[in-house]
Amino acid sequence: MPKINVNIKWNDTDDSPELFKTQIYSQTGVPPERQKIMVKGGILKDTTDLNKLNLKEGHTFMVMGTAGELPKTPPKPVQFLEDLTEAEVMEALNIPPGLENLGNTCYMNATLQCLRAMPELQQSLESYQGGLNGADSRGNLVASLRDLFANLSKASDGFPPLVFWQMLRQSFPQFSQTGQGGIPMQQDAEECWSELVSVLKAKLPHSEDKNFIERYMTGELEAVTECVDAPEEEKTTTVDSFTKLSCHISINTNYMINGILESLTEEIEKNSPTLNRTAKYRRKHQVSRLPQYLPIQFIRFFWKPQERVRAKILRKVKFPLDFDATELCTPELQSKFSKAKLKMKEIEDKKVQKAREEKRRKLDGENDGNQSNNMDTLSEEKVDWKEYLDPKLLEDVGCNPTGQYELCAVLTHVGRSADSGHYIAWVKKNTDEWHKFDDDKVSVLRDADIERLDGGGDWHTAYIVLYRAKKLE
C-alpha cells in the first residue's frame, strides 16, 4: 500500500481507540477492523489507554490496511414480506399451492398432497391416455387426478379440486354421504387412500407387465404358519403382496417398529389335519420385498358399539425420520442388504465427522482451508454402488435395495373420532424443511415439528406415514 499523508483533528485522548479508528475510517476509507495502527511498543489495541502514550501535538501515526469497496445501491428496492400479497409470499418462498376445502374434504386434500410427494406417480399419470368422458368411472377418476396434479404444478394459490371430487364420489358413493343441511360428511382418509391406490393399481399404464403401484409401492410378505397345538405338524409357507403395512397400538406400544412387528404375527384357529379338530395356529409374516415407497398406517381407530362411533387411540407412538426396515425382513433379504447397509453407515459416519470438525473449527476460530478441502473430499467420495448392491435387487426396478428409508410425508388427524376432526398433510421438501398442507393454507416447518406428530394428546397425530428409499449418493 503506498504511503498516504492524512491529517486528523483529534483533541481528546480520553476517547477510546475505537472512536479514534472511526475518525481514521472517515478520512481513509479503511474500516476499523482492517486497521493496524503502529504505536510505541507495537500495535494500538482497543484496550490501550491513550493517555499513557504521552502523545504530543502533531504526532504521526502509521496506519496500515486496505479500504473496502463502498456499498452499492441495490438494483431493486428492498421488499418486505409484510408488504407482499399472500400469492407473492408463496412464490418468493417457493411454497407449493394447497387445495381448497369443498366441505369436509380435508381427508381427500391431505391424501392427495401425500400421494403427490411421489414424483414417479406424477410421471406415470402423465402417460395415462384416458379422458374424462368415458363410461369407466374409475378411468375418469385417474384422468381427473392426472389433470389435478398438472393444474397444481401451474397454480400459485389454493386450487379447488372440484372435478376430482366429483369423480371420486361417482366411483365410491360412500364419499357422497351428507349430513344436516346437505353438508358433506367427514370421511376416513385411510379409506380414501386405499381406494385411490386400488384404482391406480388397476388403471395406470404398464411397462414390462408392471405399473407404478406394482413396482414402487407393492411389497411381498412371506407367511409361515405353524400349529401351536401340534408343533410336529408340517409348517406351511405362502407369499402375499401388500401396498402398506400396519402399526398396531396396544398398551405396550411406544415405537412404530414394535407396532409393525406385532401386526406381522397373528393367532388363528382352523382345522388341523393331524389332530382332526380345530386347533390354534400362529402365522408369522416377514417381508421378502421392500418397495421404494412404504406407507405405514397407525391403527388408531376402533369401533365402540355403545356409542356407535369409531373412537381414537391417543397413545404416543414415536416414528423415526430415518427408518431401518431390515428387522421386518426375511433372513435372506437381510443378507442381501448387508454390504450396502454397511457402506451407507460408513458414509453417514464421515458426514457426522465432517460436521463435528466444522463445528470445532468454528468454536476455535480456525480457518484451515486445506483441512476443509480434505474433509469435503472425504465426505463427497463417489461410490460405485454396483459393488455393494445385490445383483438381483439391482434388477428389481422399484424395490428398496438397502432397506433404509427416509420419511417423506405424514397424514395426520386431530380429533376424537374418524368421522369428525380434521386431516392435514405434511410433506418433506429438503433437509429439515417441510410443507404443512392445511387445505389451502400452506406453511414451512422443520423436522422438530414433524417429530411432535407422534400422538399422546389432542394435537395432530400421525395416521399414515410415507417412507421412501434413501437415495444412493
Exactly one of 192, 422, 435, 460 is catalytic; which is it? 422
Q: What is the SS3 assignment for the chain? A: CCCCCCCCCCCCCCCCHHHHHHHHHHHHCCCHHHCEEEECCEECCCCCCHHHHCCCCCCCCEEECCCCCCCCCCCCCCCCHHHCCHHHHHHHCCCCCCECCCCCCHHHHHHHHHHCCCHHHHHHHHCCCCCCCCCCHHHHHHHHHHHHHHHHHHCCCCECCHHHHHHHHHHCHHHHCECHHHCECCCCHHHHHHHHHHHHHHHCCCECCECHHHHHHCEEEEEEEEECCCCCCCCEEEEEEECCEEECCCCCCCEHHHHHHHHCEEEEEEEECCCCEEEEEEEEEEEEECECEEEEEECCEEEECCCCEEEECCCCCECCCEEECHHHECHHHHHHHHHHHHHHHHHHHHHHHHHHHHHHHHHHCCCCHHHHHHHHHHHCCCCCHHHCCCHHHHHCCCECCCCEEEEEEEEEEECCECCCCEEEEEEEEECCEEEEEECCEEEEECHHHHHCCCCCCCCCEEEEEEEEECCCC
Amino acid identity of residue 118, one-letter, is: M
- Alpha carbon 255 to its chain centroid, in Å, reads 19
Helix axes 137-154, 189-203, angle to 10 degrees: 110
Residues β-bridged to residue 322: 406
> Could you tell me which residues come within 8 angstroms of residue 198 by beta carbon, excluding any fewer than 6 positions away?
none
422 classed as catalytic: yes
- Cell triple for 42: 507495537
Using the Cα atoms of residue 111, residue 114, residue 120 and residue 125 in order, give the sign of their dihedral.
positive
Supply φ then ψ for residue 428, to 5 degrees: -75, 135
Positions annotated as catalytic residues are 106, 422
